[in-house]
Amino acid sequence: MDRHLSLALTLGGLLLWGTVATADTDEISTRQTSLLAASCATCHGTQGRMSGAVPPLAGRSYDVLRQQLLAFQSGEASHATVMDRVVANYSEAELEAIARYFAAIE
Amino acid sequence: MKQGNITRRELLKFLGAAGAVSAAGSLGIAGCSRNGAPAGRVIVIGGGFGGATAAKYIKLFNPDIQVALIEPAERFYTCPFSNLYLGGLRDMQLIGHGYEELKQRYQVEVIHTLAEDVDGSAKTVRLADGRVLGYDKLVLSPGIDIRWDALEGYDQAAAEIAPHAWKAGPQTKLLRDRLEAMEDGGTFILSAPANPFRCPPGPYERVSLIAHYFKQHKPKSKILLLDAKDAFSKQGLFMEGWKAVYGDMIEWVGLSDDGRVVRVDAQAGEVETEFGTLHKADAMNIVPPQKAGFIAVRAGVIDTTGWAPVKPQTFESKMVSDIYVVGDASVAAPMPKSGFCANNQAKVVAAAIVADLDGREPLEARWTNTCYSLISPDYGISVAGVYGVEDGHIVETAGGLSPLGAPADFRQREARYAVNWYNAICQDTWGTSDLPLALG
Ligand SMILES: Cc1cc2nc3c(=O)[nH]c(=O)nc-3n(C[C@H](O)[C@H](O)[C@H](O)COP(=O)(O)OP(=O)(O)OC[C@H]3O[C@@H](n4cnc5c(N)ncnc54)[C@H](O)[C@@H]3O)c2cc1C
């Protein structure tokens, strides 16, 4: 996104956030997703941008991220050392929202 | 470009915030919304894992909020990986972090001085340089202070001979000097405290990496770990690893077997345990009982335990409103006192403060923790936990330990991921980049 547009939108003050989470719809707001994804940053760098022993999460395809997260959760990702323990209790909707968040970066 | 219920445009707007901060800063309007009034003023006390993260994430979530961070040190030395320094695996310089990212990129006003007092009703903080600053919201992440009255013979002077090294810096260097001065065949004693204390696996990782150093340079030496408790974090995994890597070099003595140290004679290099046994050491590390940093006392947010009780959902103090306590100083059990938790708690607090200043309800709180420990440079283990709030209490909803009896390549990968974790959390907290993945 163009820097000026981003600046204008932010300084405009009126950020149009995504849908609000409600218990019966499984919908997860953008703010809630940003907070959930912030916990991943402790091992993957701010906004998942760090490249180290694990490739960056930022900017990867939604489908790949979603598939990887679900595979960690189901135990299919047999190479996992810790991701299986980390994502064990997230709902599918949460993992999808998080995958969308990282896919949208860059 | 709708993808489910979050549009790409909305996310980009959120993510654009960080870029906008520096752009806004160069226009001289940092911390103000367009009409010139700041969206709120937040003071953060402490630039460690909790405080630096809180300052950064408040700015990431809403750049219109003014944030000041009070921290005396210009460089923060992490306790995480200070055990690698002790084991000869990392330079001190690589565990130090500065505040450039917070200042330059996020427009946080970093003030390098000590906060001396907090007035929770006037909502002001008094600094050591005499200034008095007002706040709408105050975040305290002062870490720990040592309870100098808790262990007979162990005062500040004694710690200059027998270091605690439980705050990283000169104390850590002193301990390394003691280890280097020790003869091969000597005895090193570490005394570990009862719960709760900073970093439950810390003492056990420390003896592991000291054993690594001894094995290379002083292989006839012994390590005696005297403990004020009968069980410890990742015990099975540590014991398995010690046996496999160091044979009988490390002996652990728990509370029931007379492990609790009750008196220290630093000059004589001697400790006494509960039942009257005297142990002689050639080098000693006393990890004493701890409490929340003194500014939490000044702010009136601690109870009789010496720690600060908080509301689980937001980590706002249960005792004084508009003061939030994160990190080691807070009572967050079952979350451990770890840098990882401090970092995660700070993000939930940042979101709660941004929401409250905006007149919104707090988001649902969720925290992750993983404590990696290195038994040797290629032998890593971990315990992970995911936490949420149920019925007004913090509960662990998922997690677990590395498997016992895992093959060597699993331990090796976890060692590599431990370093990767350190690099990531230091990037996330202070913006430090390009830390090496290699050890040694
Ligand atoms: C040996 C060891 C190993 C560890 N290993 C790990 C690990 O592998 N993983 C992990 O997650 N955790 C680890 N920890 C734990 C980790 O260090 C702490 O949990 C973490 O530092 C807590 O963060 P905090 O923000 O509460 O306090 P700190 O990080 O200690 O930060 C507190 C800051 O507040 C400042 N401060 C205090 N009072 C004032 C005041 N009045 N005014 C201004 N500033 C003030 C201090 O100068 C300090 O910079 C380890 C700890 C030890 C001792």
The residue length of chain B stands at: 440
Contact status, residue B195 vs residue B229, Cβ threshold 8 Å: yes
Tens of pLDDT along B37-79?
789 999 999 999 999 999 999 999 999 999 999 999 999 999 9
- Tell me the chain B residues in contact with residue A96 when contact means C-beta distances shorter than 8 Å: 4
CA distance A49 to chain B (A): 10
What pLDDT does B24 receive?
33
Say yes or no for a CB contact (<8 Å) between A36 and B351. no
Q: What is the pLDDT of residue B15?
A: 54
Percentage, residues of chain A above pLDDT 90: 74
Q: Is B339 in the pocket of ligand 1 (CB under 6 A)?
A: yes
Question: Is there a contact between B367 and A33 if contact means CB atoms under 8 Å apart?
Answer: no
Inform me whether the pLDDT recorded for A96 exceeds 80: yes
CB contact under 8 A, A81 and B340: no
**Cβ(B62) – ligand 1 distance below 6 Å:** no
Question: Which of B362, B424, B420, B342 is CA-nearest to residue B55?
Answer: B342
B206 Cβ inside 6 Å of ligand 1: yes
Residue among B220, B225, B219, B218 at smallest CA distance from B204? B225
Chain B residue with minimum CA distance to A9? B13
Q: What pLDDT was estimated at residue A23?
A: 39
Q: How far is the CA of B311 from the CAs of A75, B308, B389, in angstroms?
A: 35, 10, 10
Q: What is the pLDDT of residue B276?
A: 98
Q: Closest approach of chain A CAs to the CA of B431, in angstroms?
A: 9
ipTM of the complex: 0.92
**Ligand 1: which atom is nearest the Cα of residue B372?**
8
Which residues of chain B lie closer than 8 angstroms to A47, CB-CB? 15
The predicted structure's pLDDT at residue A82 = 98
Q: Is A20's pLDDT higher than 90?
A: no
Contacts of residue B386 in chain A, CB cutoff 8 Å?
Answer: 86, 88-89
Report yes or no: B20 at the A interface, CB cutoff 8 Å.
Answer: yes
Distance of CA A54 to the CA centre of its chain: 16
**Could you tell me the CA-to-CA distances from B95 to B98, B168, B215, B379 in Å, in that order?**
10, 9, 24, 20
Q: Return the ligand 1 atom nearest residue B370 CA.
A: 11
Question: Parallel, antiparallel, or unpaired: how do β-strands B124-127 and B132-134 relate?
Answer: antiparallel
* pLDDT surpassing 90 at residue A25: no
Domains in chain B, CATH or no CATH each: 8-143+293-430 (3.50.50.60), 149-290 (3.50.50.60)
Residue from A1, A10, A36, A50 to probe the interface with B (highest B Cβ count within 10 Å):
A10
pLDDT at residue number A27? 75
pLDDT at B9: 56
State residue A22's pLDDT score.
36
For A13, B19, B33, B158, B352, the CA distances from B63, given in Å and listed in that order, are 10, 10, 9, 46, 15
Residue B353 in contact with partner chain A when CB distance is under 8 A: no
Residue ranges of chain B with per-residue pLDDT less than 50: 1-5, 16-32
Closest CB to A43: pick one of B366, B400, B424.
B424
From chain A, the residues in CB contact with B33 under 8 A are: 11, 13
Q: What pLDDT is recorded for position A46?
A: 98
Nearest alpha carbon to residue B415 among B200, B211, B209, B252? B209
Residue A9 to residue B366, Cβ atoms within 8 A: no
Predicted pLDDT of residue B31: 46
Residue showing tokens 């630039």: B47
